[in-house]
Amino acid sequence: MANDMGLFLGEMLRHPAEVSALLPSSSAVAWRMTEGLHRNIGPVVEIGPGTGSFTKAILARGVPPEQLTLLETNDRFCDILRQRFPGVRVLNRPAQDIEKLGLSELGAVVSGVPVLARPKIQREVVGPAFRLMKPGGFFTQITYSPNPPISAEMQRELGLSVERLGTIWVNLPPARVFVFRRRTH
């Protein structure tokens, strides 16, 4: 994955609507994004995997490849993901299609798709993801903002609670990781 930076920048210039980050996420961010994942969690969906830094960490946490589905809109990234992660289901589809995939009882969703200040995407992706989740499932989201990427108002609308997992300063730019769960009360 050494030349991922060049690949990422090239795809960002060719397809700016499909690539929303300037650089791939660091392994430190990937490890934090995958906290709580383990072999018996159930199906996991990763949205916006890019070149696979989170994917690699998800598998390292013990999630079996056949339990992992990746949703990526960039064709080139999909080809790379299929080569790098045999046995993982790689779909060239947007995150908004999550309910059309025949999935259920999800254990977790790991998201590299920017949702900050995009209520339409929050409703089209986060809400449906929670409809597919089993009790105790969670949605982990990266952001470069110090605030949760889903507003308090939208959290109330979707019935979610939030926990900040931390800031990863070694990432460029520094990244924050938040985990969302269904409210229990």
pLDDT at position 110: 97
Predicted confidence (pLDDT) per residue in 37-84, tens digit = 988 899 999 999 999 999 999 999 999 999 999 999 999 999 999 999
Rounded distance, CA 149 to CA 6, Å?
Answer: 27
Helices in the chain by DSSP H: which ranges?
Answer: 4-14, 27-33, 53-60, 75-84, 119-121, 127-132, 152-158
The neighbouring-strand residues paired with 46 are 70, 110
Q: How far, in Å, CA of 106 to CA of 110, rounded?
A: 11
Distance separating alpha carbons of residues 70 and 164, to the nearest angstrom: 24
Q: Is the pLDDT of residue 20 over 80?
A: no
From the CA atom positions of the chain, what is the Rg in Å?
15
Domain ranges of the chain: 25-170
| pLDDT of residue 35 exceeding 50 | yes
Closest CA to 68 of 55, 80, 78, 57: 55
Superfamily of domain 25-170: Vaccinia Virus protein VP39 (3.40.50.150)
- pLDDT on residue 170: 85
Q: Which residue, 67, 65, 141, is CA-closest to 103?
A: 67
Q: What is the pTM of this model?
A: 0.86
Spatial separation of the C-alpha atoms in residues 135 and 26, rounded to whole Å? 30
Residue 120 confidence (pLDDT): 82
Among the listed residues 105, 103, 112, the one whose alpha carbon sits nearest the alpha carbon of residue 81: 112
In this predicted structure, the answer to whether residue 22 has a pLDDT above a threshold of 90 is: no
Q: Give the pLDDT confidence of 123-171 residue by residue, as tens digits.
A: 899 999 999 999 999 999 999 889 999 989 889 999 999 999 999 998 8
